Structure 1
Amino acid sequence: MIRRFALATALVVASMTALADAPPPAAIVGFWRTAKGGAVIHLVEEHGSFVARLVWLESDRYPADAPRGMAGQPLLDRHNPDASKRDRPLIGLRLIKGLDYRVRDNDRARWENGQVYDPGRGKWFDCYLWLADHRHLKLHGYVGIPALGRTTTWTRVPDPRVAAD
């Protein structure tokens, strides 16, 4: 009887320790620079799940040699399969939706069951995220089978819309 109680107590303490080591659900909230550095994404919690919007682009306007009078205009969601959405500016566009927080075995936390939008292709892909450390976020995007997907690393940054003093 004492052995069972000791074992049960040890299991409870171990599981509480594992949960204490996992980052809190809101740990991903903030601004993240994409791997290539040309964009900043703002991750927030919205209605019980996590979403992200594009808030900054290094080049947020069409170049001077753009066709059809687009030169100097804000970049648009031109590749969206829904023609009614092709005139939406990329800035402010929701790029990630539906992420749920889960703590996995060995206290590994993931934000999963989400989708990430690639405006360059006009397609949504399944995705999940995890924190490599406080400053680096890993995003894994895939179609159907996670093993065939691709992982990219984002870096936490201050809000790029606020001018530095």
Structure 2
Amino acid sequence: MQDSKRDNPPGHTGIRPVPRQVRRAGAALCAMAMMLAPLAMPAASHARAAEPDIIGRWMTKDHDGVFEISHCGQEICGHLVGLRYETEMPRDKRGEVECNLPMLNGFTPDADTPGHWNGRVTDPDTGHVYHAKLWVSQSGDLKLRGFVAVPLFGETETWSRYTGTIGPACKLP
């Protein structure tokens, strides 16, 4: 084995200089990456800001009501936009018509479970407000779990996405 210090001129570190062509190619690649970075950033921020799966219209489990779930400021909320009724529109406990009644309120992302939302649901028949969770199952159905204190003691309903029409005065066909 030869001593590398003997093979190199005095003051030389033994590290070869990078050829000019490689330096130019590297500089060109860096310049191209800097030009393309702003183009990729909107796509990344758009992916983060994608609409939650729960946004839209949902038919209740008994197929007698449709809720529209949407943004309410920084939170998600839902109100009744369609009802199945024969004579006059149903009314809540206070005597208010149920059409456009806000019943899902204050939903924010669940920090522990991605894709799940925590908020409150109001029972129009009793006026009671319950804690609730919302999420979309793998089958594409909306799951709404209402509970008093902890999710363990609650009830889950399955709602399906609604794409039909709604007539005047919130009447479902």
- Quickly name the TM-score band, shorter chain normalised: 0.5 to 0.7
Could you list the per-position Cα deviations for residues 140-164 of structure 1 after superposition, in whole angstroms to 9, with x for gaps in the alignment?
A: 100012111111111011153279x
Residue among 55, 76, 89 paired with 1:74: 89
CA distance in 1, matches of 2:134, 2:162: 17
| TM-aligned CA deviation for residue 125 of structure 1 | 0.6
State the partner residue of 2:130. 125
The answer as to whether partners of 1:111 and 1:129 remain within 8 angstroms in 2 is yes
With over 3 angstroms needed to count, the CA separation of the structure-2 counterparts of 1:93 and 1:52, relative to structure 1, is: same
Hey, what does 2:55 align to over in structure 1? 29
State the partner residue of 1:99.
107
CA distance in 2, matches of 1:89, 1:160: 20
User: Counterpart in 2 of 1:88?
Assistant: 96
Relative to the length of structure 1, the TM-score reads: 0.65
- State the aligned residue count: 122
The structure with the largest strand share of the pair is 1
The letter of the residue matching 1:139 is L
Q: C-alpha distance in 2, partners of 1:103/1:121?
A: 30
Unaligned runs of 5+ residues in structure 2 are 1-47, 169-173
Provide closer, same or farther for how the CA distance between residues 122 and 29 of structure 1 changes in structure 2, counting only shifts above 3 A: same
| Code of the aligned partner of 2:89 | P
* Alignment counterpart, residue 50 of structure 1, candidates 57, 64, 76: 76
Bigger Rg, which one? 2
Query: Paired residue for 1:160?
Result: 165
In structure 2, distance between residues paired with 1:135 and 1:128 = 16
The TM-score, its normalising length taken from structure 2, stands at 0.63
